[in-house]
Amino acid sequence: MSIDEIAGLMLYSAHQAISKVNPLARYSGQDEVDTRKNIWDLTEAQKKFLKDDNLRHVLIAMADNTPAAARWNNNAQSFVESIGLGIPVNNSSDPRHTPVATAEFDMGSGGDLSVWPDHLGLAATFDPALVQRFGEIASREYRAMGITTALSPQIDLATDPRWWRFSGTFGEGIQLSIDLARAYCDGFQTSGDERSLGEAASAPGWGYDSVNAMAKHWPGGGSGEGGRDAHFGYGKYAVYPGDAQETHLKPFTEGAFKLAGKTGSASAIMPYYTISWNYDTKNGENVGNSYNKYIITDLLRTKYGYDGVVCTDWGITPDSVAIDLFLSGKCWGVENLTVAERHYKILMAGVDQFGGNNDKGPVLEAYRRGVEEHGEDFMANRFRQSSRRLLRNIFRVGLFENPYLDAEESAKTAGSAEFVKQGREAQIKSVVLLKNKNHVLPLKTSEAGKPKVYIPKRHINAGFNFLGFPTPARDIVPLDLKTAADYITVVDSPAEADCAFCFIESPKGIGYTKEAGYVPVSLQYRPYTALSAREKNIAGTDNRSYRGKTGTVQNEPDLDMVLDTRNAMGDKPVIVFVRTANPFVAAEFETAADAVLLDFSVETRTLLELALGKAEPSALLPFQMPLDMETVEAQAEDLGRDMIPYTDSEGNTWDFAFGLGWKGPIKDDRVRKYR
């Protein structure tokens, strides 16, 4: 391969959409003027980066349906087949099996695939075999879409409950995260014998059902200072007040790097955006993880012997334009370097690939800088080292043998009846029953028929979405009423009802505002003033303390809705369903609820079937629920299970691995093993 071709191989595209409506236009750099006849046709921008920039790794963030994705794949593969060496396109996806697209790292979800809980919901099952089965099914559906790399699993230990990406993890249990990381990668990467590539594969176990797993985020992204997230400049630092750096490596070193299946190890790794503060004990550099040679070469490559692909997270080489914008470069610690200098530093750190970069120009400029500093032979060998790793992952999944799909066959595979059935079973197993006063659940059906249920609307305050775009205040019906009608009779007032269902979400706090600067990330619904926060931040030199400041959440009306419903219902039961992204302070509403259930992105029917006793809850908390915000403030960002957990009105403590069945607290082998 020429250096020019290798430079293109090192690129991983910005987010692409195979969609009639393209909300990613400003995000992905796709053409604002759409020249496509069909949604599966290549855009002019895609043709350019495939041909002119030799790009061969594409992130498919959105696709309207599987046949469209399959046809787009065929068009892309046909387009590149006659270019240069005919290297196929390796398409990838963020997680896409939950019911709705709610965040950047899950925006591909929905469509015609089977539906499963998110990572945190999979963790709540405490069942590695189920997680491996999910990987086996998801890989089949990915391959039907032409996707051969999963930008998952996210195996960061979620040791700070405030972290924005908590819901994408397997929780805060160390051994649980290790076991689920291993199961997830084995499920995605291993093909059955009948679909194996055999001698054509570079290693046993790989085949036409295999999908490369890109485990993330090395060396662990769950310890952001103050619980802030490094997608934003105000959250660029990870800290370790508990000296638990090595603990955060274990889901990688003991899970993703030690698979039970024949593929051996996760084929790719993604470092996180964060500056892991004072982590580098060799060179003393405080720069973003992909820029840090100690973290990538000395630790990952040398100490742990990892020789797979290392790909940066998306958008770390452009300039940062604002501290609070998602759509901004995330060049933490190297803001003073040029774009080309950042590419060079990343290559010298030991990274192979640049996430979110469609342009080979800065990579070639980095090559020229390397030649000036180290000579042609050194830099050519450095490029070939990465090209070997990158090509190996394309060979492993059989793309050189046959990258094409039959769109009709793809439609039969994705969302097949058996896959949908297993996804729904997993959803049932992921919902945690935390409270069941007087055994109010399951609901008793009467001779008159279905229970009569009052369901108040949710009010959503005006705010901003994750891209930073404003969203208006609005009232919403919090569930699918058509589906609900199969299970219950929805009535208009509390007076008509047998009980009430309140559907709310966990508090959505943010750690920075333009008006107040740094504020606490709150896990309670009412405004929270951080009187016990640190007087001075741990990382950096600027003052980011939020002591004495007040944090608010966008969905405070959720609390009002529960309390108002309690008053309106009198002695009749109030059941609270919480769509949960983070642990939260339940004390604000728990006594007003007769039953509390947590879900992690499941369908309406799942919650209703549990409430009516068509299945029994079996899930366990994969994290602690905090007593209050003071215990959240007191915990160390890098230590798991170090909070005082909440105890409810029934005397149950909502600690790690707690959950109820119909007869009371669950005390089975999972609890004994993982608690």
Asked if 236 and 633 count as a contact pair (C-beta separation under 8 A), the reply is no
Range 44-51, long-range pairs (CB < 8 A, 24+ positions): 45/358, 46/16, 46/76, 47/79, 49/11, 49/13, 49/358, 49/359, 50/76, 50/79, 50/80, 50/83, 50/89, 51/79, 51/80, 51/83
Structure tokens given for 652? 């149950």
How many CB atoms within 10 Å of residue 298?
A: 18
CA angle 253–254–256, rounded 5-degree value: 70
Q: Which helix (H) or strand (E) holds 183?
A: helix 174-189
Q: Is 377 exposed, middle or buried (0-12, 13-18, 19+ CB in 10 A)?
A: exposed
How many residues appear in the chain? Answer: 675
CA angle 117–236–300, rounded 5-degree value: 75
Is the backbone of residue 601 left (phi > 0), alpha (psi -120 to 50) or beta?
left
Asked if 228 and 239 count as a contact pair (C-beta separation under 8 A), the reply is no
Q: Is 488 exposed, middle or buried (0-12, 13-18, 19+ CB in 10 A)?
A: buried
How many CB atoms within 10 Å of residue 559?
A: 18
Please name the residue that has the structure tokens 């051969």: 148
Task: Kindly give, in sequence order, each residue whose CB lies less than 8 Å from that of residue 408, ignoring residues fewer than 6 positions away.
Answer: 67
Q: What is the CA radius of gyration of the chain?
A: 25
Bridging pattern class, strands 470-471 and 463-464: antiparallel
CA gap 99, 110 in Å, rounded: 5
Maximum distance among all Cα pairs of the chain, rounded to whole angstroms:
85
- DSSP annotation of 540 reads S
Which residues are known to be catalytic? 313
Our CA dihedral for 556, 558, 560, 562, rounded to 10 degrees, sits at -150
